[in-house]
A and B are shown apart, each in its own frame.
Chain A
């Protein structure tokens, strides 16, 4: 069986399995009852979709960001993008409390875009032979923006929101509350259409220009995808760390950096990892649950360490 077919099968199994995991017991036998159908329709299915959309789009956003930065150690949450989305949302909530959800999302994605542009403006001056400087600067940069958000939140007594945005979890996902994530998914899918251009970005500005690419425009479109995905996930489910970092790295090791080939795998792996973690998060202290961000934080940290050491061994 091909790798793709295998991935689709595993993902489908996880997806269906996740419908039957939760505080309210539900077995595949009673799906015909009206209560069970309501539960699946209003809560379990939306949750499964939210998980898949979040995982896939965050992983793709991370992969694009790594190609733009030409650095394998960046992802939206360590580059100030997520924090900027949060800060933007906070400012909008204060200044335009009556704004529609759509407008709030748009402005938060815009703030994320400004934040990412700032990140790239700062890090492009860093020496390329020190790849770890980029994520370090990103963490400091994101920390500063995040602190600004916390400060404002503290002043305005809105800290509880920041807490929600900082810790991604799906327990509150219901029909009518997650649908904006489809936009994030759409943004990620659209990036497949220009996959070649993003792959070429990974070869650097000189090669891009030589091949007639409008370098700035392609970088900007990549940043728009990253910002929309990050902004929407932070606002809808909260920040989930490491997905954008770990998944693209693993996929790149497996199938390389040609985005046209790796993007579907990245999407499936991202979705699968978050789905499995979310199932685990629901089972580990059943009938309660832990935030999925915590579970992924632990897995991600372990994989990240392994990546770092793996890299040290590869030095030629």
Chain B
């Protein structure tokens, strides 16, 4: 269970997050949506101790973010940041392999190697395994980083816009994989999405953020309404219901 209590965050005196409290129980896919600048990445980064916490408290099971050992947290929770460094000349296999680093700390076992191969296979990276990251296309690179996060094999997965640069097939495959992790392995996924239709199709729960606050929370079909789209995103995209699911007409 991830528990966020009264989390507030300022950057250079400007309020970015305002008094956020939310509990994400173990298992399930939670989508985090909201307009640009709403604070989604900041919230995720705080959960993953990428930026120091200012006010409030975050726990992941019994681990307190910012107090517990980094090595323990790295085996419990993994994050895929929104922007990743691209200029590195690591091969895809090396990069994905570093996802196992929290476990082997420099001495990979055959099990670690097998997981890396498995991760590359799942994300269609085997043909690119020996390619250097700086020669990949944007979507191929994104897939490599997703695979690295995947092989970290943590109970909690935080993904910040993982569908960036991915084509339709890769996007659907990734979402299906996350769904499978949640349903069959009791993994907990929190994922920032901009495409509401992906959120309603694959998530159990949608958290909506705007201007640093949580403004809606619930099952996709309850939360995603035309009124919400209008008030949160300030655009009047019509909504249709297809097979019981709200679909935004873009």
Contact B90 A257 (CB under 8 A): yes
Contact A210 B78 (CB under 8 A): yes
Chain B, residue nearest A253 (CB): B89
**Cβ of A232 to closest chain B Cβ, rounded Å:** 27
Which of A26-34, A103-111, A211-219, A223-231 is the contact stretch? Answer: A211-219
Contact B73 A199 (CB under 8 A): no
**In chain B between 24 and 52, which residues have their CB closer than 8 angstroms to a CB of chain A?**
45, 48-50
Contact B85 A70 (CB under 8 A): yes
Contact A212 B74 (CB under 8 A): yes
Task: Count contacts on A: residues with CB < 8 A to the other chain.
Answer: 24
Checking B75, B81, B89, B99 against A257 with a beta-carbon cut-off of 8 angstroms, the contacting residue is B89
**Cβ of B65 to closest chain A Cβ, rounded Å:** 11
Contact A196 B91 (CB under 8 A): no
Q: A196-B106, A199-B90 are in contact. Are A256 and B50 (CB under 8 A)?
A: no
**Binary B-proximity of A64-91 (CB < 8 A = 1, otherwise 0):** 0000001000000000000000000000
Contact A209 B102 (CB under 8 A): no
Task: Count contacts on B: residues with CB < 8 A to the other chain.
Answer: 31
Q: How far is the CA of A204 from the CA of B82 in the complex (A)?
A: 13
Q: How far is the CA of A29 from the CA of B173 in the complex (A)?
A: 71
**Cβ of B247 to closest chain A Cβ, rounded Å:** 34
Q: A206-B50, A256-B94 are in contact. Are A212 and B102 (CB under 8 A)?
A: yes
Interface check B184, CB cutoff 8 A: no
**Binary B-proximity of A119-136 (CB < 8 A = 1, otherwise 0):** 000000000000000000
Checking B70, B73, B74, B85 against A203 with a beta-carbon cut-off of 8 angstroms, the contacting residue is B85
**Among the interface residues A197, A214, A258, which one has the most CB atoms of the partner chain B within 10 A?**
A258
**In chain B between 50 and 67, which residues have their CB closer than 8 angstroms to a CB of chain A?**
50
Q: How far is the CA of A214 from the CA of B105 in the complex (A)?
A: 12
Q: A196-B106, A213-B70, A256-B91 are in contact. Are A207 and B101 (CB under 8 A)?
A: no
**Interface residues in chain A, defined as those with a beta carbon under 8 Å from any beta carbon in chain B:** 70, 194-197, 199-200, 202-207, 209-214, 252-253, 256-258
Given contacts A209-B70, A258-B94, 5 further A-B contacts (CB under 8 A): A70-B85, A210-B74, A212-B72, A213-B70, A257-B88
List the 5 closest A-B pairs by CB distance, nearest first.
A212-B74, A257-B89, A256-B89, A212-B71, A212-B102
Q: What are 19 pairs between A and B in contact, CB < 8 Å?
A: A196-B105, A202-B88, A202-B90, A204-B85, A206-B50, A209-B49, A209-B70, A210-B50, A210-B79, A210-B81, A210-B152, A211-B102, A212-B70, A212-B72, A212-B73, A213-B70, A252-B89, A253-B89, A258-B91
**Interface residues in chain B, defined as those with a beta carbon under 8 Å from any beta carbon in chain A:** 45, 48-50, 70-75, 78-79, 81, 84-85, 87-91, 94-95, 98-99, 101-102, 105-106, 132, 149, 152
